[in-house]
Amino acid sequence: MALTASLGMAPAASAKTRECDTKPIETALSELGKIGVPGIAVTVKSPNCGIWQGGVGLADRATGRKVVGNEFSRIGSDTKTWTATVVLQLVAEGKIDLADTVDHYLPGLIRNDKYDGRTITIRQLLQHTSGLPDYLGNDYWKDEEARRWDHIEPLQTVQQALPLDPPKDRAPSGFAYSNTNYNLAGLIVTKVTGRDIGTEITERIIKPLGLRDTYWPGDDVTIRKPDLRSYKWVAGAVVDRTEWNTTEADASGELISTGADTTTFWTALLTGKLLAPAQLAEMKKTVLDNAGEGYGLGIERYGFTEDPVTWGHSGSMLSAHEFRNAFTEDAERGVTLLIDTDEYESEDVDRIIGALIHDLR
């Protein structure tokens, strides 16, 4: 399919006066245009250029609308970092202890012949070392399209996970990625605060940071305009899967945002504006995941570039929206991609992001 590339050059007001070199960005856009997806919204942060937004391809195949970089999209599991931030704020307030068990907050909820909430800690939930299976493995989700419009409560997803066998692909560290962990963490936040995780994220992160383009959709199956549509190849045809009820994702992946807003969030997180030093340090304590990279408390330490060290959290949705990002430790350099399909080679994207982060000035 034909792809077009554009670079919206809008440096932030705080950008340094040193010369901005856009060549690394232009190279990355050219490479992204070759990976064979309909469209990608790109946001780049660098010391000399400030915030740059642009895009590759089409945001909407039906109308021919091009990606320009300001599109709304589902960010999927990047939501986990926002959820973990709320939990760690509650830790700082003395309302949650990472060493406490699930049963301490939700007595009896996790209790069968396979799993015992009395032995699973909050830290293990946030670090995916609980041993709980992913609820998406339940037969209920075999036909995703059949569940497209369903309203699903987070408690239902936990209950869907409990009959399943433990994950077979646990890393030696005990890591096994499971969305159940974060929906369960969201339920604990609700028990402690009396408010659902979406409200807590809104009041503790979205409003204080002034993120006008980030929101919790609930049962709204649409995405605010301008939206990045999403596509799946089914029986040789491209199918638009944008409209979707994502309530099942809850604390594990429900947020909708933009590249600019998520850049603001990650900058605030890594520079200590959302968490005290002790809690940020806990977040960055990693174990090896199945890919040999580091996973902390809702944050990933990427292995595709060791110079510089980068942090972030990827995301994907049943609607086929994908989210990829990477930020340096000081948050001076960052790359965020909103991708409108889950059908691409992730290694190619990792390589492009790694090279861009390395070359940004």
For residue 339, the surrounding DSSP H or E stretch is: strand 334-339
Catalytic residues: 77
The torsion defined by the Cα of 285, 289, 293 and 295, in degrees rounded to 10, comes to -30
Gap between the Cα atoms of 50 and 67, Å rounded: 20
CA distances from 247 to 84, 150, 229 (A): 18, 8, 19
**Helices (runs of H) and strands (runs of E) counted in the chain:** 11, 15
Residues 97, 170, 156, 117, CA torsion sign: negative
Cis peptide before 208 (omega within 30 of 0): no
Say which amino acid occupies 313.
H
- Cα separation, 48 vs 69, in Å, equals 19
